Structure 1
Amino acid sequence: MDFKPLITLLAIVNPLAIVPFFIHYTQGFGREQRKRTILVASFSAFLVIAASAVLGIRILEFFGISLASFQVGGGMLLLTSALNMLNANPAEAKPNTHEMQDGAEKAAMGASIAVVPLTIPLLTGPATMSTVVIYAERAATVLQLAVLVGYGVVIGLVTALCFSLAGPIARVLGKTGINVLTRLMGLILAALAVEVMAEGLGKLFPVLGRVAGS
């Protein structure tokens, strides 16, 4: 069984890095409201991954986009996310965006912020979707595609666990510990991004593959 997709997704989603955001946006929430936020955010993250795995290839075919081009573009997104993480920022975070501002306003009104901004764009975003689509194309059987969707379940469970233990995690690791883990994940993600881009470029420009092999 290939665990590379799961490792890549864990590096991109990186729920540990989102724990401080979760604590911030759920300040003042009651126990039940916080629990519901965790469930909705975790399930939403799974839905994004599952939908990307099942429908991603069809969407590319509809727009007439080749997988090789998508791999290069997706690899660039992964590399951008990796650079964010090497600076100790969440992979999908976009500080000062409308999504973040809307999330703050919803939190102030007592509405759920589980989907925006926790799930989108903090947990899952373009880089996550691109990664899932690329690995979905490599799935040769329905079983392999089901395993990829299953990895979405794992991501959802890990997210729920991290958010449920947000308080203890923040106390034990502290900001420094979370930053170190984020940078480590970013380094791994950067290597995976280069690999994805290299594969896409090799398909677009076969001569590059021959040069590399010589």
Structure 2
Amino acid sequence: MDSLLPFAFICLTSFFTLTNPLGTMPVFLSMTKGIDNEQRARIVKRATIVSFVILISFTVCGQVLFSLFGISTNGFRIAAGFIIMKIGFDMLQAKYSHTKLKDDEVKVYANDISITPLSIPMLCGPGAIANGIMLMENAATWEMKATLIGSIAIIYLLTYLILRASTRLVPILGETGNNVMMRLMGLILMVIAVECFVGGLKPIMVDIIKAGNGLL
């Protein structure tokens, strides 16, 4: 239980910052301008369900992908660290989304934005996928694996509720509130990224040192 609570906290905080529903709100409202609340509700519901299914699939099947492509888990940790660091740095600059949309692009996506770009890559981007695979690798027990899956479900339920209430939350938070939240979450992500990078680099350096001592 002592190790389960910190693991659950890491899962919830990392996925919340990577999913970034607060930062997605202004972009979502701009993409759904002129759409009634019922249509917005359908878009949000579909986007969160699709994001949840995709993230769970990658999280559960991550080890199979490692075996199939011969990917080292330590190498993946280092790569994930770089990806999460980049996202955290962008958020530290108070950039709302990893996806930059022009006005003409918004019109192209107007018919069905629930899959792209709302679900992929905004709510379920490479950072969230990398984080899910990495955390599943760290989950040593079935309780931890269940905690990870439950945390993802909680985050997407919370994301659904936040986006559904976006028309009311954005005016309350304001631009200053959004910027403060983005910077705080970006800082948390950068700390997680450093842990990922060090966790992947340390075993590689240990192996290099052992190999070097064996040659002496």
User: What is the TM-score with the length of structure 2 in the denominator?
Assistant: 0.88
Indicate which of 99, 104, 109 corresponds to 1:106. 109
Q: What is the match of residue 30 of structure 2?
A: 24
* Cα shift at 1:179: 1.0
Distance 1:208 1:187 in 2: 32
Q: What is the match of residue 48 of structure 2?
A: 42
Q: What is the match of residue 174 of structure 2?
A: 174
* Cα shift at 1:153: 0.8
Question: Contact 1:45–1:155 at 8 Å: present in 2 too?
Answer: no
Give matches, 1:130-141, under 5 Å: 130-141=130-141
* Cα shift at 1:146: 2.4
Runs of 4 or more above 3 Å deviation: 100-104, 207-210
* 5+ long unaligned stretches in structure 2: 211-216
Q: C-alpha deviations, 1:100-135, integer Å up to 9, x for none?
A: 96554130xxx2211111111112211110000000
SS at match of 1:205: helix
Distance 2:40 2:99 in 1: 23
Distance 1:21 1:182 in 2: 14
Q: What is the match of residue 95 of structure 1?
A: 100
Q: C-alpha deviations, 1:44-72, integer Å up to 9, x for none?
A: 22112211211111111100001000000
Name which one, 1 or 2, has greater alpha-carbon Rg.
Answer: 2
Q: What is the match of residue 199 of structure 1?
A: 199
Q: What is the match of residue 76 of structure 2?
A: 70
Distance 1:44 1:28 in 2: 24
The 1:96/1:165 distance shift into structure 2, 3 A limit, reads: closer
1:86 aligns with 2:89: no
What is the number of residues matched between the two proteins?
204
Distance 1:168 1:42 in 2: 19
The 1:79/1:101 distance shift into structure 2, 3 A limit, reads: farther
Question: Contact 2:109–2:116 at 8 Å: present in 1 too?
Answer: no
Superposed CA RMSD: 2.1
* 5+ long unaligned stretches in structure 1: none
The 1:173/1:209 distance shift into structure 2, 3 A limit, reads: farther
Q: What is the match of residue 161 of structure 2?
A: 161
Question: Contact 2:94–2:179 at 8 Å: present in 1 too?
Answer: yes
Indicate which of 17, 21, 24 corresponds to 1:11. 17
Task: Report which stretch shifted further, 6-15 or 74-83.
Answer: 6-15
Distance 1:163 1:96 in 2: 18
Distance 2:187 2:116 in 1: 27
Question: Contact 2:91–2:185 at 8 Å: present in 1 too?
Answer: yes
Indicate which of 53, 56, 60 corresponds to 2:59. 53
Q: Residue type of the partner of 1:77?
A: I
Q: What is the match of residue 213 of structure 2?
A: none
SS at match of 1:140: coil
Q: C-alpha deviations, 1:165-197, integer Å up to 9, x for none?
A: 101111111111111100100001101100110
Distance 2:15 2:154 in 1: 10
User: What is the TM-score with the length of structure 1 in the denominator?
Assistant: 0.88
Distance 2:33 2:146 in 1: 37
